[in-house]
Structure 1
């Protein structure tokens, strides 16, 4: 992690946490981790499915963030809630019925490409658009989007996985842009993308057989590591893609 972690109240004990994608494998585990780690924080969650109530302060919004109409709906919901000073977005997809990561140009399909961009990038853009008008200069903000190392252009030595790589690269650029715009707008702002490592979820299930021993992590371990990275962010980490141990990954 670059620099010394900033010891402010937003880093040590967020008053309000917003978690999007709270129904997925990592998202659900992260919801449990954050609730246990910060029991006094107001906890807001968003997903396309209902989830069980996690704490007395828990509020949930069932909505599809890839839909552009979600921007105004989420904004109205947030307007009636405490302003979150931690936002974590876990929305993402790799494969679905009738679609697997492409190995060559011949396998690329516009519909699959657009769906990948919609879920892997637009869900994060729409949440940021909903939050943006509510931000205040003197209210610290930490934003973390779950991304992927395969979205790094510099780190790509294998090729393939066109729609996933391209959509995650787009998400990474969104994070870089947000860090610059919100860095000018907010006195204390950290905006990062985090690669959680390969986690034992349905997303990684078809590809786990090729992993070497020790490279597949439980959802609980990944959630704990993500929370650690967010909690220990330094001011000069903003605008970066970080590994699950907090080390930077080249864009």
Structure 2
């Protein structure tokens, strides 16, 4: 299987790429870091020019069978998730939308010409349960929640378009579960015992679900085990 992993320098993305290679799959990777190679593209998917960069990178490598888009942001040295409305700023909201949504859009735009009836695709965007409107009973985390809800809507739209264009394609958003990475580190003390997963465990679970994706999951937000989360 030929699989593209975007955000491969992050904890989950790197673990997915490593596991796929160990399983014998052919892996292409994209991230902002690392050394360029025949299988790795260095680019920033938040930037519009990344669409052409990815398109050119894939041009001589043929269509991919599956994509994991693992790009995302929850906090930074300059900002943490908001606890109240008055902490919400336009700058941080825009940054969340740029990384958590626009990067996925740019990647899909680059891959879109390869998606055909003769070349259906499996697409997995890492999202989050906190992006579910129905599941939100706690509030807070305004920018992150809104950006993940927007990502989920993008995935639903993309699933409809690619489902018509290339029947057999399966496009989903997926919540990976709380994983021991830099993204979750500031919040791990509040995670219930047994609910903080290793990168390797998360990667294995996501790959198992990806390889079994079928029409019944198309356009859905999934939990790490493949069960459906309400939007």
3-state secondary structure, aligned to 1:178: helix
Q: Describe the superposition over 1:127-161 as per-residue Cα deviations: whole angstroms up to 9, x where unpaired.
A: 00011122221112100000000000010000000
3-state secondary structure, aligned to 2:3: strand
Q: 8 Å contact 2:20–2:26 — kept in the other structure?
A: no
- What pairs up with 1:79-94 in 2 under 5 angstroms? 79-94=59-74
1:44 maps to 28
Where has structure 1 moved over 2 Å in runs of 4 or more?
none
Query: Given the alignment, which residue of 128, 132, 154 partners 1:148?
Result: 128
Q: 8 Å contact 2:127–2:151 — kept in the other structure?
A: yes
Shift in Å, 1:187: 2.3
| Structure 1 unaligned spans of 5+ | 1-13
Query: Given the alignment, which residue of 52, 56, 66 partners 1:76?
Result: 56
Query: Given the alignment, which residue of 14, 27, 30 partners 2:13?
Result: 27
The alignment of Structure 1 onto Structure 2 pairs a total of residues equal to 231
1:184 maps to 164
Quick one: higher RCO (CA 8 Å, sep 6+), 1 or 2?
1
Shift in Å, 1:51: 5.8
TM-score by length of 1: 0.90
More deviation, 192-201/135-144 = 135-144
Shift in Å, 1:52: 9.2
Shift in Å, 1:28: 0.6
1:17 maps to 3
Shift in Å, 1:235: 1.4
Let me know the Cα RMSD of the aligned residues.
Answer: 1.2
1:9 maps to none
| Structure 2 unaligned spans of 5+ | none
